Amino acid sequence: MKNVLFLLMLMMISVTTAQDIYLQCGKIVDVASGKILSEKTIVISENRIKEIKNGFVVGSDTDQVIDLSSKTILPGFIDMHVHIESESSPSRYLEAFTMNEADVAFESTVYAKRTLMAGFTTVRDLGGSGVNIALKKAIDKGVVVGPRIFTAGKALASTGGHADPTNGRSNELMGDPGPKEGVVNSPEDGRKAVRQRYKDGADVIKITATGGVLSVAKSGQNPQFTIEEIKAITDTANDYGMLTAAHAHGDEGMQRAILGGIKTIEHGTLMSEETMDLMIKHNTFMVPTISAGQEAARLAKIPNYLPPVVAKKALEIGPKLNATFTKAYKKGVSIAFGTDSGVSPHGDNAKEFIYMNKAGMPIIEALRSATITNAMLLGEKELGQIKEGYIADIVAVNENPLDHVETLTNVVFVMKEGVVYKKL
């Protein structure tokens, strides 16, 4: 009987001390409708949006009130293409030989925090060393501050392909990496590589369907997987409920990826109209990463910043993303927001909104791509909107972004799962 009374007392104490958060919001961007809602109060209970009330409301004496009455409120942003472990630098290619796994891990925590403080409460990490999986777990446990991460672990490549981890090394160091290291040369390899990623703790699968800009390899656009290999990868990924993505600059590699069942095409730089039609037919999404194209072209002009073989590709491919994105958007290709941060600096993710808008996409559509669209692709039904019952991922900016897109690069308030990480 005493134990029962004790438990009842504990329950009563927890009820009486429970604290809701009242966000008094000057404006809320309803990304679904495109409307601006004025003078609302969002009530947060634990990690969810409990209620949205008219006017500026306060709760009980135990509740917390946060005054955002002069700010514009949006759902936390979702970036579908980051590399959270690293960032471009003149020493990046040497660091593969000088940095230990622990060094990478410590640096990744800085990039993760910077990303969250920029208003990106969720990211899809599309390839690193595997430290990204440990980082995801640490953030989930609350050990490290950062966005919610869906990670590919180590991306998949063919031998000598864009994500082959031994590209550019001497014969002595090159070796013959296989599926465990993310190198695939047959449908059987593809299936094994996906299962290994699943075993490692990855959430999504990323392949490098064509050559790339920043790898130490000659071609930045040649196809590097057969359709049969891609199909084996996507079929296996589907068995494990894993979303698939394909890095692709060249057109032939894109078409193989689409026909092979890949869901998102990353970059899509040299995409033809035929490929755009194919993407529409198969409901494949383009993740344009204009930020990466802009940054790669800029870095290529800095003497000795990039290896000569890389700088040449960056100047050839980087500047073409804008025009391709414009054509794809106007043609009706579905667009998902992604930056390739790590090529561009972490924390500058919101510049992508500016680039997308300048390339012809209305701001509200760019915002939808970074919220509703990306949540849908990730299978997250409670992210991407400020709506009752949804997870409380909420950010604030100083101005209405539908009139001033640049304000999105200056997020002044960040809440993730009901916890405030950045205060006014």
Structure tokens at 399: 């101005």
Contact 275, 228 (CB under 8 A): no
Whether 81 and 146 share a structural domain: yes
> Cα(174)–Cα(184) distance, rounded to whole angstroms?
16
DSSP annotation string for 11-75: HHHHHHH--EEEEEEEEEEETTTTEEEEEEEEEEETTEEEEEEES-----TTSEEEEEEEEEEEE
Structure tokens at 102: 């622990």
Predicted pLDDT of residue 376: 98
Sequence-ordered list of residues with C-beta below 8 angstroms from that of 87, at least 6 positions apart, any chain: 107, 111, 342, 345, 346
324 is a domain residue: yes
Confidence of residue 16 (pLDDT cuts 50, 70, 90): very low
Handedness of CA 366, 370, 371, 376 (dihedral sign): positive
Handedness of CA 259, 262, 265, 266 (dihedral sign): negative
Whether 144 and 260 share a structural domain: yes
Whether 27 and 55 share a structural domain: yes
Whether residue 168 has pLDDT greater than 70 = no
Whether 165 and 248 share a structural domain: yes
5 is a domain residue: no
Q: Is residue 117 classed as helix, strand or coil in its secondary structure?
A: helix
Whether 185 and 321 share a structural domain: yes
Whether 150 and 233 share a structural domain: yes
227 is a domain residue: yes
Whether 88 and 56 share a structural domain: no
Mean pLDDT along residues 2-28: 68
15 is a domain residue: no
Burial of 332 (0-12, 13-18, 19+ CB in 10 A): exposed
Q: What is the CATH number of the domain that holds 372?
A: 3.20.20.140
Whether 371 and 397 share a structural domain: no
Mean pLDDT along residues 349-366: 98
Whether 242 and 117 share a structural domain: yes
Instruction: State the Cα torsion 46-144-346-354 to the nearest 10°.
Output: 0
85 is a domain residue: yes
Contact 225, 158 (CB under 8 A): yes
Nearest to 204 by CA among 140, 123, 115: 123
Whether 235 and 343 share a structural domain: yes
9 is a domain residue: no
Amino acid at 196: Q
CB count, 10 Å around CB of 341?
A: 31
Q: Is residue 343 classed as helix, strand or coil in its secondary structure?
A: coil
> Cα(79)–Cα(337) distance, rounded to whole angstroms?
6
pLDDT in tens, 275-284: 999 999 999 9
Q: What is the CATH number of the domain that holds 416?
A: 2.30.40.10
Whether 48 and 121 share a structural domain: no
Predicted pLDDT of residue 166: 66
Tokens 């800009």 belong to residue: 213
Whether 87 and 58 share a structural domain: no
Q: What is the mean pLDDT of the chain?
A: 92
Predicted pLDDT of residue 175: 73
pLDDT in tens, 176-223: 777 898 899 999 999 999 999 999 999 999 999 998 777 666 666 889
List the beta strands (DSSP E) in 76-169.
Answer: 77-82, 120-125, 148-151
User: Beta strands 64-75 and 20-30: pairing type?
Assistant: parallel
Predicted pLDDT of residue 220: 65
Give me the number of domains the chain comprises.
Answer: 2
36 is a domain residue: yes
83 is a domain residue: yes
Q: Give the helix ranges, DSSP H, for 260-350.
A: 273-282, 290-300, 308-317, 321-331
Domain holding 248, by residue range, is: 77-378
